[in-house]
Structure 1
């Protein structure tokens, strides 16, 4: 696995409480350190849903949803673990293997129902992930739109 010197992208925390969505930016270290991302999301205590959306280097995205027993995780392409530490860490926590280097297919791994309770059923998430011509930020925008927090999400991205 190659260690990334500089990683571009963004990380957004999403909270749904009392029927309202709020989004906020997470520190850029969350793009490279899974433990940091989980810790930062756990600090956002809420009676409703809390999850993070990470778009990394226009290559893949990660959804992180803290839970009492750890964290539910979804990685849009397991092949990213060959080049990115955060993706490798996701696979480690999921006890999943990275695909062979010569695979040219997108291989999502993790909990496809991670956002089912907030409006993103498994089949729809699968369709979005398989839209390989889209960049991760575009895929996450589709997720935000479907779940109903597109405006709050876009406002955070506008500040970047």
Structure 2
């Protein structure tokens, strides 16, 4: 299923500028597939921009560009059965034949894509193991650990109880 604008819970790009982190929304035109997200990130200042996209309270996608390299993490590979954006992530990763159980959220991609920013693959794996958390909660935690949590929460309208 294509991702309709209403299915996107949030889509943000975070990048470092001279004053620290900046966070802004990504427009729907940038959310067709991993390549269009990466192209949008490359237009931002600095190097190493990060996109965080939450879809239908079901899964999230992190895309990071560093120079010519694009790194991707899909929170739940089984989402590719229902969502074109998730399928594009598996295509990008060369995992089109990946078989996953729909009852178990199995991440796909580069768990160390944020390692040089302070969030190790082990820390990210630990966050992904929280199957009760929604994508906005998980990515708010990721953003906080990277140093732009407050900006992320403001842009996506996330409030904690």
| TM class, shorter-length | 0.7 to 0.9
Indicate conservation of the 8 Å contact 1:82/1:98, yes or no.
Answer: no
* CA shift for structure 1 position 34: 2.5
Aligned to 2:7: 7
C-alpha RMSD of the superposition: 2.0
Q: Distance in 1 between matches of 2:20 and 2:3?
A: 36
Q: Which runs of 4+ in 1 moved over 4 A?
A: none
For residues 131 and 74 of structure 1, do their structure 2 counterparts lie closer, same or farther at Cα, with a shift above 3 Å needed?
same
Moved more, 122-131 or 102-111: 102-111
Q: Distance in 1 between matches of 2:29 and 2:10?
A: 10
SS in 2 for 1:14: strand
Q: Distance in 1 between matches of 2:17 and 2:104?
A: 37
Structure 1 stretches lacking a partner, 5+ long: none
Moved more, 116-125 or 28-37: 28-37
* CA shift for structure 1 position 74: 0.5
Indicate conservation of the 8 Å contact 1:41/1:51, yes or no.
Answer: yes
Structure 2 stretches lacking a partner, 5+ long: none
Confirm whether residue 137 of structure 1 aligns to residue 136 of structure 2: yes
Confirm whether residue 24 of structure 1 aligns to residue 63 of structure 2: no
Confirm whether residue 115 of structure 1 aligns to residue 100 of structure 2: no
TM-score (norm 1): 0.88
Q: Deviations over 1:52-108 (max 9, x none)?
A: 0011110100110123334100000000000000111110110113434x5411110
Q: Deviations over 1:5-29 (max 9, x none)?
A: 5523111100123461110111124
* CA shift for structure 1 position 4: 4.6
SS in 2 for 1:73: strand
Indicate conservation of the 8 Å contact 2:15/2:50, yes or no.
Answer: yes
Alignment of 1:7-156 (within 5 A): 7-18=7-18, 20-46=20-46, 48-96=47-95, 97-100=97-100, 102-156=101-155
For residues 57 and 30 of structure 1, do their structure 2 counterparts lie closer, same or farther at Cα, with a shift above 3 Å needed?
farther
TM-score (norm 2): 0.87
* CA shift for structure 1 position 155: 1.7
For residues 115 and 19 of structure 1, do their structure 2 counterparts lie closer, same or farther at Cα, with a shift above 3 Å needed?
farther
